[in-house]
């Protein structure tokens, strides 16, 4: 029931009913008032007409009996009459019903009515007289006193009286008819109002249901346009709105997907802030950066971004100007660009684009170091070659032994320069991805043992014990490029022998670890300082510059070894303790378990 009252149908229905009911109520009141007055006027007119008729009958007939018979036929059953020749004297009575004598006495003794003998004008009055039906009951009567003129002379008066019950009965019947008509009109109005409101609101209900479907995202919902009126035009406009919403939503989704794809594919971190520095949108790179800041800053400071970036963001939001700077935060370098976002003319936030420049700074530093190291490495042999060559050209040498010694130095320095250039070329090819590996399924233990035995004579000459140990099956194979692995092991074993003192020990060991074969080169040499271990695989890095130079190293061997191992999907590590020894370990995957 509440659903009907809260609907448009109920409201329109009630409105029409109230309006029609109000109109019917006013019309009924006016109609009843009009009919009441009309009945009273009709009763008065009827009494006047009957009084005139009685007067004419009396004038025309001298015989009272004849007049009485005629008058009795004229008067209706509810109308009575008295004819008086003199005041207070009744000469003729025409009465039907009870209390005739009592009524007669009250009428002829009424001072108002008796004045008819003096004024010669009809007098109308409502009186309370004894009932015509019951002796002990009083009724309301309308009494007309009309002068009785005979040949233009006053010869008495006619008193005609009629009970008001007749008028009231007529009025009651008329009222019933009016109320019945009003009720029928009300029922018809109710029916047509409900029918009309239903016809109007049925399309509206369909529009409401269609609107709910639109709100759920079903933009293919359509309304039938069966009418040509305003409702039909509204349905047409609704369908157009649905098509436009679908089109605009598809455009927005496409733009959103494009923006999401762009943000996801960007290598830079993109973060959007609102005015209170809350993060609204961030791409995957930004999420990683925020997570990194979260762990580095901690949760007790209550802010997800470093204080430097927060100050820059505050500057952009308040001064409404773009900022492009490079900052060092938490040991990393970032190129930061922050641009304000506007909503109309008011600033609503800012977008920050951050590029991690730490690696570029490191590469720039390495490039500078690389150039300096190459220059330094080449300058010494070139200087020596130039100096000894000039000595030979100027015939400074005094004996053949000195000439041979100089020629030997020139040869060794040229070899050293050749090794440096070769290592640089190999490293450049590996880092650029242009070095091709020729892999074969080989028995790992046999390959490693063969390479180790190549250094047996060198180890004996240096008074160093070189041993080979294997903890794997001789049939264990791995897919490797034998030449490149030999180059790695040659570098590691040669370094171990050169950095191990007399009577030291170098051990080459092969083990199996899960899905990898692990090769270790362990020595009892002087070891590597702990502060140098993180940089040991970088190009031209030498833990002990003076000692390394004395043994002819270029500083590129470990960098080359690291790249070759990683090209085999392996990992190389180092452990070292001062004056105890160093262990280099690299792993190679086994694919035929």
359-368's contacts with Cβ under 8 Å and 24+ in sequence apart are 360/333, 361/333, 366/538, 366/539
Query: Which is the CATH superfamily of the domain at 1-205?
Result: PAS domain (3.30.450.20)
Is the model more confident about 1 or about 410? 410
Give the distance, in angstroms, between the CA of residue 272 and the centroid of all CA atoms in the same chain: 17
Confidence band, pLDDT 50/70/90 cuts, at residue 541: low
Residue 582 bridge partners (DSSP)? 523, 576
CB of 86 closer than 8 Å to CB of 156 = yes
Encode pLDDT of 433-479 as tens digits. 666 778 888 999 999 999 899 888 888 888 999 999 998 888 888 88
Asked which of 129-138, 151-160, 176-185 is least confident by mean pLDDT, the reply is 151-160
Same fold for the pair 1-205 and 266-356: yes
**Overall pTM surpassing 0.95 (yes/no):** no
Task: Answer whether residue 249 shows pLDDT above 70.
Answer: yes
Average pLDDT taken over every residue of the chain: 78
437-589 belongs to CATH 3.30.565.10: yes
Q: Which CATH class is domain 361-429?
A: mainly alpha
| Predicted local confidence at residue 325, as pLDDT | 85
| Predicted local confidence at residue 182, as pLDDT | 77
Task: Answer whether residue 550 shows pLDDT above 50.
Answer: no
CB of 78 closer than 8 Å to CB of 163 = yes
Encode pLDDT of 65-109 as tens digits. 666 667 766 676 667 787 777 777 776 677 777 777 787 788 788
**Domain regions of the chain by residue span:** 1-205, 266-356, 361-429, 437-589
Q: Is 579 left (phi over 0), alpha (psi -120 to 50) or beta?
A: left
CB of 472 closer than 8 Å to CB of 444 = yes
How many Å apart are CA 328 and CA 464, to the nearest integer? 49
Q: Is 160 exposed, middle or buried (0-12, 13-18, 19+ CB in 10 A)?
A: buried
Q: Which CATH architecture has domain 266-356?
A: 2-Layer Sandwich (3.30)
| Predicted local confidence at residue 21, as pLDDT | 77
Would you state the structure tokens that stand for residue 439, as one six-digit string? 């892999």
Confidence band, pLDDT 50/70/90 cuts, at residue 573: very high
Is the model more confident about 278 or about 423? 278
Task: Answer whether residue 147 shows pLDDT above 60.
Answer: yes
Which of these, 442, 588, 440, 569, lies nearest to 515 by C-alpha position? 588
Residue 346 bridge partners (DSSP)? 343
CB of 39 closer than 8 Å to CB of 167 = yes
**Buried b or exposed e, range 249-283, using 16+ CB within 10 angstroms:** eeeeeeeeeeeeeebeeeebbbbbbeeebeeeebb
| Predicted local confidence at residue 506, as pLDDT | 93
Question: In whole angstroms, how large is the CA radius of gyration of the chain?
Answer: 64
Task: Answer whether residue 548 shows pLDDT above 60.
Answer: no
In percent, the amount of the chain with pLDDT more than 90 equals: 7
Which of these, 332, 339, 322, lies nearest to 356 by C-alpha position? 332
């Amino acid at each position: 029931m509440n659903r009907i009252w809260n609907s448009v149908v109920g409201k329109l229905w009630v409105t029409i009913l109230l309006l029609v009911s109000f109109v019917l109520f006013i019309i009924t009141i006016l109609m009843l008032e009009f009919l009441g007055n009309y009945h009273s006027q009709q009763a008065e007119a009827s009494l006047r007409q009957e009084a005139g008729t009685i007067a004419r009958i009396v004038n025309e007939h001298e015989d009272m009996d004849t007049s009485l018979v005629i008058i009795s036929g004229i008067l209706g059953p509810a109308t009575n009459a008295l004819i008086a020749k003199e005041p207070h004297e009744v000469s003729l009575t025409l009465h039907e019903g009870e209390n005739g004598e009592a009524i007669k006495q009250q009428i002829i003794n009424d001072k108002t009515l008796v004045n008819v003998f003096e004024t010669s004008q009809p007098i109308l009055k409502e009186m309370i007289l004894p009932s015509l039906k019951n002796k002990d009951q009083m009724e309301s009567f309308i009494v007309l006193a009309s002068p009785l003129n005979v040949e233009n002379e006053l010869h008495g008066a006619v008193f005609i009286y009629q009970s008001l019950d007749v008028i009231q009965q007529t009025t009651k019947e008329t009222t019933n008819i009016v109320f019945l008509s009003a009720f029928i009109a009300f029922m018809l109005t109710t029916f047509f109002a409900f029918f009309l409101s239903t016809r109007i609101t049925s399309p509206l209900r369909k529009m409401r249901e269609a609107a709910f479907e639109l709100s759920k995202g079903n933009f293919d919902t359509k309304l039938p346009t069966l009418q040509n009126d305003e409702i039909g035009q509204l349905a047409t406009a609704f369908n157009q709105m649905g098509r436009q919403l679908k089109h605009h939503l598809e455009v927005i989704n496409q733009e959103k997907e494009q923006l999401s794809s762009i943000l996801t594919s960007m290598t830079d971190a993109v973060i959007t802030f609102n005015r209170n520095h809350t993060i609204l949108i961030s791409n995957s790179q930004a999420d990683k950066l925020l997570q990194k800041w979260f762990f580095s800053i901690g949760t007790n400071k209550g802010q997800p971004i470093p204080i430097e970036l927060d100050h820059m963001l505050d500057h952009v939001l308040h001064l409404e100007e773009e900022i492009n700077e490079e900052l060092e935060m938490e040991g990393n370098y970032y190129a930061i660009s922050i641009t304000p976002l506007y909503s109309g003319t008011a600033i609503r936030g800012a977008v920050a684009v951050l590029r991690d420049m730490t690696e570029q700074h490191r590469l720039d530093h390495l490039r500078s170091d690389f150039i300096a190291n190459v220059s330094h490495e080449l300058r010494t042999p070139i200087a020596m070659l130039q100096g000894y060559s000039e000595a030979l050209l100027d015939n400074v040498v005094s004996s053949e032994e000195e000439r041979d010694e100089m020629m030997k130095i020139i040869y060794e320095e040229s070899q050293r320069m050749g090794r440096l250039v070769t290592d640089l070329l190999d490293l450049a090819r590996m880092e650029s991805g242009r070095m091709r590996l020729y892999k074969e399924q080989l028995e790992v233990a046999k390959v490693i043992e063969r390479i180790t035995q190549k250094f047996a004579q060198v180890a004996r000459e240096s008074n160093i014990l070189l041993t080979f140990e294997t903890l794997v099956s001789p049939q264990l194979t791995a897919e490797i490029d034998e030449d490149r692995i030999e180059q790695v092991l040659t570098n590691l074993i040669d370094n171990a022998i050169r950095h191990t003192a007399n009577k030291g020990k170098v051990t080459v060991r092969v083990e199996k670890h899960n899905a990898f074969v692990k090769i270790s080169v362990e020595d009892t040499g002087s070891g590597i300082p702990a502060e140098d271990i993180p940089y040991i695989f970088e190009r031209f890095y030498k833990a002990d510059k003076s000692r390394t130079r004395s043994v002819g190293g270029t500083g590129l061997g470990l960098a080359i070894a690291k790249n070759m191992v990683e090209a085999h999907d392996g990992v190389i590590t180092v452990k070292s303790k001062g004056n105890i020894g160093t262990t280099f370990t690299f792993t190679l995957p086994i694919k035929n378990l």
